[in-house]
Amino acid sequence: MSAEPAGEGSPVAVPPEPAPTGEGSPVAAEPAPPRARIVLGDNLEVLPRLADGSFALIYIDPPFNTGQTQRRASLKMVRDEEGDRTGFKGHRYRTIKLGERRYADVFDDYLEFLWPRLEHAHRLLAPDGSFFLHLDCREVHYAKVACDQIFGRDAFINEIVWAYDYGARSRSRWPAKHDNILWYAKDPRRYVFNFDDIDRIPYMAPGLVGPEKAARGKTPTDVWWQTIVSPQGREKTGYPTQKPLKILERIVRVHSRPGDRLLDFFAGSGSFGEAAVRAERSVVLIDENPEAVEIMRRRLSFAEPVVEVVAPLPA
């Protein structure tokens, strides 16, 4: 791809990449410095320009087909005794809406949208690469059938359930408080799983396992308990549907090696990108929403990301 940073509003054509040489993740004599490349454009325009087999790990978190526009308002509270909320020490506060971030999440035929992108994910994976698809119960079963066809049923390794416990609780059904993350390997006999790099979590009943084990903690199962990004926390970018860094750090650490090249082509606020770069991997991040790209550019400024704009291919 071109390494030229994009000027204001000027589309930069991204030329196709050369095919990688050799098998497996490319091994360079000198590890390339970790860095981030952010691309503004429809991923279906960008993906064909990326070389076969050139990514060790691909994570995507596409829109979930909620049928709604995903919005997140950014608010500021100011002290005002006539205000609409009571806050610290009983003082009254007024809410000022600073702006709103949003993207559309409505699809007539979700699988038709996803399918060609899944095919690219398969093509782009290195021979020992892994693919993670983050969805929820609305579409995951259709997507799994699609991935089984594209990757092969035996390439399915795990379904990870990310369970959280935050927000409104329905009184007419069990509150839906989990997402589904499917893991496929390009080759089910050869993939990266760095067991020793798995973070440890506390035992539920530490009294049953003895002090040494209790102190060390245990490795998680395929159900990962992790709270959502706190609306008040430091991690928050204000982008709707931002995923917690802890989830993505675990995926990056366990399923890739330092120096590897990673890809997220529904990148949003760049949570996967931050996890990748902080763990000494390099990453390509694609999103069609200029607000997402602006957030990623700021969020990853410590890594001096290259930002590119991909103009649509002529019809």
- Residue 271 makes contact with ligand SAM by CB under 6 A: yes
Candidate residues 121, 183, 266, 305; the one interacting with ligand SAM per rule CB under 6 A: 266
Q: Show the site string, 166-205: x = touches ligand SAM by CB under 6 A, - = not.
A: ----------------------------------------
Q: Which range touches ligand SAM (CB under 6 A), out of 93-101, 198-206, 261-269, 274-282? A: 261-269
- Judged by CB under 6 A, the chain residues 98 through 127 that form the site for ligand SAM are 103
DSSP characters over the chain: ---PPPPTT-----PPPPPPPSSSS---SSPPPP-EEEEES-HHHHGGGSPTT-EEEEEE------SEEEEEEEEEEEE-TT-SEE-GGG-EEEEEEEEEEEEEE--SSHHHHHHHHHHHHHHHEEEEEEEEEEE-TTTHHHHHHHHHHHH-GGGEEEEEEEE---S---SSS----EEEEEEEESSTTS----GGGPPPB--SSGGGT-HHHHHH-B---SEEE-PPPPTTSTT--S-TTPPPHHHHHHHHHHH--TT-EEEESS-TTTHHHHHHHHTT-EEEEEES-HHHHHHHHHHTGGG--EEEE-PPPP-
Write down the least CB distance from residue 72 to ligand SAM, Å. 10
- Residue 273 makes contact with ligand SAM by CB under 6 A: no
Closer to ligand SAM by CB, 42 or 80: give it. Answer: 42
Number of residues that bind ligand SAM (CB under 6 A): 19
Q: Which range touches ligand SAM (CB under 6 A), out of 153-161, 168-176, 180-188, 288-296? A: 288-296
Candidate residues 252, 292, 306, 309; the one interacting with ligand SAM per rule CB under 6 A: 292
Closer to ligand SAM by CB, 125 or 247: give it. Answer: 247
- Residue 241 makes contact with ligand SAM by CB under 6 A: yes
Candidate residues 14, 47, 262, 286; the one interacting with ligand SAM per rule CB under 6 A: 286
- Judged by CB under 6 A, the chain residues 51 through 70 that form the site for ligand SAM are 61-63
Closer to ligand SAM by CB, 14 or 286: give it. Answer: 286
Cα–Cα distance, 58 to 11 (Å, whole number): 25
Binding site for ligand SAM (CB under 6 A): 42-43, 61-63, 103, 239, 241-243, 266, 268-269, 271, 286-289, 292
